[in-house]
Amino acid sequence: MKEWHRILSLACYYSGLSGQKSLWELADLALNVQERWGKHPQYNLRALSNACSISESRLKSLARTAKFFSYKDRFEELSMSHHITAMRQDPEKANFWLQQAVINKWSSKDIRLAIIGNGDPKKFSWLRCGTFWYFSHIEF
């Protein structure tokens, strides 16, 4: 019980509710809760989610990322979003893509496009388009 209260306090601190926002520490904490308590009825990711106002699915994603990238494999100069993108898009070459992101100063969108474009983020730059048109009444 005492350990759980410490974890809840840390979660609030790491999520920025009462302290400094730190996604890697929150990811490590979520992974710790997942591995230690698993499906405990009271001490689980849902309870952690309620305490720190971050969705349970986001905490699961953070925990998965923390498990995939051990502390020594993380690129501190890149965001959590870079790591999640590399892990999801190309898990076998994730570290290679993260190195390329550092060298080329890619955003997390650029790294996704580079993986799709086999090293060239501009190859499929048209994927960045976000405008869609919908016509409800078209007569011919």
Higher per-residue confidence, 93 vs 21: 93
pLDDT at 75: 93
pLDDT at 126: 57
Percentages helix, strand, coil for the chain, rounded to the nearest 5? 65, 0, 35
pLDDT at 12: 84
What is the pTM for the complete model shown?
0.77
pLDDT at 20: 76
CA 97/CA 118 separation, integer angstroms: 10
Mean pLDDT of 107-133: 74
Mean pLDDT of 41-46: 90
User: Which of the four pLDDT bands, split at 50, 70 and 90, describes residue 135?
Assistant: low
In this predicted structure, the answer to whether residue 118 has a pLDDT above a threshold of 90 is: no
Q: If you average pLDDT over every residue of the chain, what do you get?
A: 85
pLDDT at 133: 59
Mean pLDDT of 48-75: 92
Higher per-residue confidence, 140 vs 58: 58
On whether the CB atoms of residues 129 and 119 are closer than 8 A, the answer is: no
pLDDT at 21: 78
**Helix axis angle, 56-68 to 80-89, nearest 10°:** 80
Instruction: Give how far Cα 8 sits from Cα of 20, 88, 136, Å.
Output: 14, 28, 49
